[in-house]
Amino acid sequence: MNSWSDSDSRFMQLALAEAAQAVNLGEVPVGAVVVRNSVPIGKGHNRTVRDSDPTAHAEINALRAAALREQNYRLEGATVFVTLEPCAMCLGAMLHARIARLVFGAYDAKAGAAGSVLDLANHRAMNHRIEVNGGLMQQECSEILRRFFESKR
């Protein structure tokens, strides 16, 4: 069981706010925030449909924003907070950026690459490892997804 800090919860709230922006765009509600030294340096939400871009996941958008702000593709020491367990593409980008820690809300039994389906964050063949903490505000993160997909039926 993880012991979550107040700042962990605060940053996940920011990620949930990003997920809410995705809902307003008709996108799958996933939000992400990149934090370093207790300061958010990049935020993003899903924009795959709006941008006609299969790579425009929340995590990728947040990493891009953080890298632009920092003027560096390496984001060493940073933590990514995301409402849904990342897929293989997003976890791969985090590995390349040298993210130190990943905190996610809802588990993804279909495509999760941080332990549910694959565990790329700690794969022995990779040259970088990411500390993974899953399940922060899991109910809230799952609920926004459940409501979104229910509205589509």
Put simply, whether the predicted model's pTM sits higher than 0.75 gets the answer: yes
**pLDDT tens digit string along 82-114?**
999 999 999 999 999 999 999 999 999 999 999
**pLDDT tens digit string along 105-140?**
999 999 999 999 999 998 888 889 999 999 999 999
**pLDDT tens digit string along 5-47?**
999 999 999 999 999 999 999 999 999 999 999 999 999 999 9
**pLDDT tens digit string along 23-33?**
999 999 999 99
The reply to whether 76 belongs to the active site is no
Residue 78 has pLDDT above 90, yes or no: yes
Q: Which of 59, 70, 76, 131 is catalytic?
A: 59
- Beta-carbon contacts of 112 under 8 Å, excluding residues fewer than 6 positions away, are 85, 86, 87, 118
Q: Are 39 and 14 in contact (CB under 8 A)?
A: no
